[in-house]
Amino acid sequence: MQELLTTLGLSDSGELLLFSKTTLRIVLILLITVVLMKLSSRMIIALKGRLKDRASGNPEEMKRIDTVDRVFRYIATIVIGIIAAVEILHELGISIAPILTAAGVVGVAVGFGAQSLIKDYFNGFFILLENQIRQGDVVEAGGKGGLVEEVTLRHIRMRDYSGNVHYVPNGSITTVTNMSRGFAQSVIDVSVTYRENVDEIIGVMQAVGANLRTDEAFRFRILDNMEMAGVEQLDISSVVIRCRFKVMPLEQWDVRREFLKRIKEAFDQRGIDIHTLA
């Protein structure tokens, strides 16, 4: 044991006492860091619980709270970790002033190459602050679209209908199209040949829409009666008639598919010639 202390340069009792104190302080800093990590986690969980109670089960608010919760955890971990590292360096007798100076010089040099990274975090902060995107939303952003699986200050992760996962840096996002807020419109175009009577077609579409609205499987998804826009376009060989349903968020595609299925059956029963369904 004495040989080990001599090797470490701790043969003197004063040096040994100083080493012991430094070690104890570092261990104490690590323990405090762990405690602060757990305490911050519990505080965030408690805050999350209160916010969810106030949200009263609102799905959109729930998604926003989950997104902000993860970001707060990330920020808390980074801040506590940096403070702990600075304190440990201080206990080891390493001055952080030269490190900060060097970091500043390196930061200026690297900053030119890291502008996109800084832009990612900057844009990510405002995306979260303005509540543009939340986990569980279906959006188009950065040239990609899909279900949002993760939102961070650095990027958003989306999975499209084919199952492909897209990581979109926040800095590349200039426009966000969110299809999950409040309500959606299921817009449907039906094309028939010129020989068909437009008024009859509109009547059949309205009847099918009314039946769909009262269907047990769809009456809670559709928020209002079908809106008939009328003749939308005269193509070379067909007349395009447009209608739409006001529906719950993310239900526009299922409602559209079911309406097209039913309108096909109704047209077949009446011998109406469908040109195309767009």
Whole-model pTM: value is: 0.61
Q: What is the pLDDT of residue 106?
A: 56
211 in a structural domain: yes
| Residue 120 CB-density burial (10 A; 0-12 exposed, 13-18 middle, 19+ buried) | buried
pLDDT class of 42 with cuts at 50, 70, 90? confident
Do 125 and 85 have their domain in common? no
Q: Please write the tens of the pLDDT for every residue from 116-134.
A: 777 887 888 888 777 888 8
Q: What is the CATH number of the domain that holds 141?
A: 2.30.30.60
Do 189 and 174 have their domain in common? no
Do 199 and 267 have their domain in common? yes
Q: What is the CATH number of the domain that holds 228?
A: 3.30.70.100
Do 193 and 265 have their domain in common? yes
Q: Once rounded to an integer, what is the mean pLDDT over residues 2-29?
A: 65
Give the torsion sign (CA, 187, 193, 199, 203): negative
Structural domain that includes position 161: 121-178
* Number of domains observed in the structure of the chain: 3
